[in-house]
Amino acid sequence: MKYNYFEALDSLSVRVYDAVSSACSERGIVSEKSLAQIRGGFNSALLELETSLFGEFIPPLKRDNIAAYAHALSRVTDTACEHIALKLSHGSIGKRLSEEDICIELAKLIHDGTSMLKSLRKPDIMPDIKSFREYSRKGLEAHTASLAQISRGALPKSYLQPLISAGKLRSELSVCFDVLLETMFNNI
């Protein structure tokens, strides 16, 4: 039976959405055990996909795109886990940053786009590029505004590390979306 790569990528994108949602949650800090489960579950699914890429004959371009996208998803998960670890070591700042809300939206758009990989041959199926770029722009604006507030003293300096971490997460989500688009363009 042939391995279903697009289903596997969809499963990884669900894990990314869960990791980003946990990292940016207002509910409080995720436990160290949960952090290990997030990373461990993702690594297991990634290993299965990588093993099948080596074991089956598929065109090299498709193999490279699938692997590149899976690794982009992995970097988002790593960054989300780093954000969680920061919260574990420094404690919650008391409220969710607006950039974290945007990261959750970006992760959802990545998942939605990944789900479309199964239907690539249909010309009317396309990810919502405009919404993604708009959220990404809003995230950068929120990041810049929060940095200015910290600089002016309107926000406490304790917000700086979580803000930098959220900015890194937003950036990884943007790179991941670009790799998703490249994967789509090369597999249509």
- Angle (CA) 25-46-128 rounded to 5° is 60
pLDDT of residue 90: 74
In tens, the pLDDT along 32-91 reads: 667 788 888 899 999 988 888 887 777 766 888 889 999 999 999 999 999 988 887 776
Burial letters for 133-168: b for 16+ Cβ neighbours within 10 Å, e otherwise? eebbebbbebbeebbeebeeeebeeebeebbebbbe
Tokens linked to 180: 């998703």
Half-sphere exposure of 97 (CA within 13 A, CB side): 35
Sequence-ordered list of residues with C-beta below 8 angstroms from that of 140, at least 6 positions apart, any chain: 170
Cα 65 to Cα 41, 69, 118, 131, 170, distances in angstroms: 22, 6, 14, 23, 22
Using an 8 Å Cβ cutoff, are 2 and 58 in contact?
no
What ranges do the domains of the chain cover?
5-187
Homologous superfamily (CATH) of 5-187 is Phosphate transport system protein phou homolog 2; domain 2 (1.20.58.220)
DSSP string across 67-128: HHHHHHHHHHHHHHHHHHHHHHHH---SS--HHHHHHHHHHHHHHHHHHGGGGTTSTT----
Q: What is the pTM of this model?
A: 0.88
In tens, the pLDDT along 97-108 reads: 889 999 999 999
Tokens 């937003």 found at: 170
